[in-house]
Amino acid sequence: MNNEIAELKQIIEDSDNIVFFGGAGVSTESNIPDFRSENGIYNAVNQYGYPPETMLSHTFFKIHPDIFFDYLRKTLIYPDAKPNNAHIGLAKLEKMGKLKAVVTQNIDNLHQMAGSKTVYELHGTLYRNYCVKCHKQFDIDYIMNSEGIPHCDKCGGIVRPDVVLYEEGLDDTTVYNAVNAIRKADVLIVGGTSLNVYPAAGLIDYYRGNKLVLINKSTTPYDRRANLIIRENIGQVFKEVLDL
């Protein structure tokens, strides 16, 4: 066990008020690729002629819903993905009474699948869908089993995922709960995120404690503020720290 892992293990042992803030890097170990990666952008432009940020915008959804849903089904939904050691470790910490909340930028439901109960999904989730007209709720299977543009079986309106598209604002209640948890946290563990996507990344500024832990393969704008930096795969870190 290296020094950083040993230090994180001690930090976790000494605290019962931990909050975790995570990004795409938490899910890539479950074989869900980051659509913002160089490869993800290349594939999107090569196949559709548009970058992901354009296709996942509110304007594009309104103008080209057919392309939007084709891209969604082929690129963002991974029904066979399973929680990795990071998700499992966080759920274990919550069950132990140490972790108070998971704040995530991911939309893949893997934290809940692992057993986490208090999860604030800043960008929404693909596992909730609703009709834009009558607001009837639908699950992810309804989207996957429909062809082309999914329509409501009640009123015929378009059924869209409950995710925050580009040009749309974050949900106020989710942000409030996330900020409240981060502000009160004794320990804030940030993992699998470059902390370059705003406004989500700005939530780190609400942390008031002195145990900011960053687990990320690359550098982030918050490295200079961190009390501990670990440059390893996040799943491996949780496996070692919690003896999974």
The helix-helix angle for 234-242 and 85-95 (nearest 10°) equals 40
Helices (H) and strands (E) in the chain, counts: 11, 9
| Residue-level pLDDT at 28 | 92
**CA-to-CA distance for 138 and 130, rounded, in angstroms?**
6
Dist. CA 186–CA 135, nearest whole Å: 39
- With a cut of 70, list the residues of the chain below it in pLDDT: 1
Q: What is the pLDDT of residues 206-241, one digit of tens each?
A: 999 999 999 999 999 999 999 999 999 999 999 999
Given this model, what pLDDT does residue 59 score? 98
Q: Which residues are catalytic?
A: 123
pLDDT reported for residue 191: 95
Token duo for residue 141: 């299977």
Structure confidence at residue 1 (pLDDT): 60
Closest Cα partner for 212 from 178, 235, 182?
Answer: 182
Question: Which amino acid, one-letter code, is at 120?
Answer: Y
pLDDT digits (tens, 9 = 90+) for 132-152: 999 999 999 999 999 999 999
Task: Give the Cα separation of 139 and 149 in Å (integer).
Answer: 15
